[in-house]
């Protein structure tokens, strides 16, 4: 299985967070077309604020959630962790300006604005699975009632 890394720093302009329901920062979805559909496994993601902190200490909620459409954002190319691997088959969209259609929440993390967090699947059974279904996938979004700057999300996935 090939491994890849993607981040919303790869392309486009970071979007400021908003209050609930938030901004999708990155999504990985199956490509359009029956010949190119692949499953993917998110093994790890790292999240954190990278803008100027709010003057009042506050919380940011990051959430991994199922998506059923792409939404509008910038296309980014996942980087193979082994340079000998082929290009990724999943579609990576970052820095959304129009939200994708959202489904159920899979992981939610509440952080202080001065904190970062790493989520790691401790075995294959607990990875977040991206189905081989047209435009279906997993997005990671963030929201805060107070923090209104940008955040970074880095995702490592296998396919």
What is the share, in percent, of the chain residues with pLDDT greater than 90? 38
What confidence tens digit (pLDDT) does each residue in 93-115 have? 999 999 898 889 999 988 887 88
Residue 58 CB partners (closer than 8 Å, separation 6+): 112, 113, 144, 145, 146, 147
52 within 8 A of 149, measured Cβ to Cβ:
yes
Task: Give pLDDT, residue 48.
Answer: 87
Average pLDDT value for the chain = 88
- Averaged pLDDT, 21-28: 88
- Residue 151 is encoded by which pair of tokens? 């955040």
129 within 8 A of 28, measured Cβ to Cβ:
no
Q: How far apart are the C-alpha atoms of 96 and 74, rounded to whole Å?
A: 7
For residue 96, give its domain range: 3-158
What confidence tens digit (pLDDT) does each residue in 44-103 have? 999 988 887 777 888 889 999 999 988 899 999 999 988 888 888 889 999 999 989 888
Task: Give pLDDT, residue 43.
Answer: 93
What confidence tens digit (pLDDT) does each residue in 120-159 have? 898 888 899 998 888 899 999 999 988 888 999 999 999 8
Number of domains making up the chain: 1
Neighbours of 99 (CB within 10 A): 18
Task: Give pLDDT, residue 84.
Answer: 86
- Residue 132 is encoded by which pair of tokens? 């081989």
């Amino acid at each position: 299985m090939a491994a890849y890394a993607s981040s919303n720093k790869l392309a486009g302009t970071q979007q400021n967070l908003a209050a609930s329901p938030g901004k999708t920062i990155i999504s990985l979805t199956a490509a359009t077309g029956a010949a190119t559909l692949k499953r993917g496994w998110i093994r790890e993601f790292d999240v954190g604020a990278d803008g100027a902190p709010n003057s009042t200490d506050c919380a940011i909620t990051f959430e991994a959630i199922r998506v059923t459409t792409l939404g509008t954002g910038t296309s980014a190319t996942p980087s193979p962790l082994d340079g000998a691997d082929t290009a990724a088959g999943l579609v990576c969209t970052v820095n959304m300006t129009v939200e994708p259609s959202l489904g159920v929440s899979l992981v939610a993390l509440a952080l202080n604005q001065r904190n970062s967090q790493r989520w790691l699947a401790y075995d294959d059974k607990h990875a977040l699975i991206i189905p081989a279904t047209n435009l279906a996938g997993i997005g990671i979004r963030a929201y805060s009632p107070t923090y209104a700057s940008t955040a970074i999300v880095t995702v490592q996935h296998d396919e």
